[in-house]
Amino acid sequence: MYWQRGSSTVFVTGTVTCLHCGYVCGQWAGRAGAPLIAAGLRNTRPPDPTAPICCGRCQGPVFLDGATAVRSTARLQRIARLRRQIAEMDARGPGRAA
């Protein structure tokens, strides 16, 4: 993996896309070289976070499209904070009723 430099951990973000039908599953963030598991998906609350991601339309295999390295941990912390906020919004109740 050319993302990895020395022993430091490099994080990447990209778009999880279906290899078969091109369906976009969502934005993914995680460690470079790590398997694409559901826990890394943003805006998603999977029943099993450790399950490998497969296409939501055809169940086909997915790949990380346009993966970019996240070198700044500040950006990663912002992503984590956003995910937490989204989870809190989801926890408030079903639907988008005001």
Residues contributing to the site for Zn ion (CB under 5 A): 18, 20-21, 23, 55, 57-58, 60
**Residue among 11 and 55 whose Cβ is closer to Zn ion:** 55
CB of 61 to Zn ion, least distance (A): 8
CB of 62 to Zn ion, least distance (A): 8
Q: In Å, what is the CA distance from 24 to each residue of 29, 51, 96?
A: 14, 17, 23
**Residue among 29 and 55 whose Cβ is closer to Zn ion:** 55
State how far the Cα of 98 lies from the Cα of 95, in Å rounded to an integer.
9
Q: In Å, what is the CA distance from 83 to each residue of 4, 7, 75, 80, 89?
A: 25, 27, 12, 5, 10
CB of 55 to Zn ion, least distance (A): 3
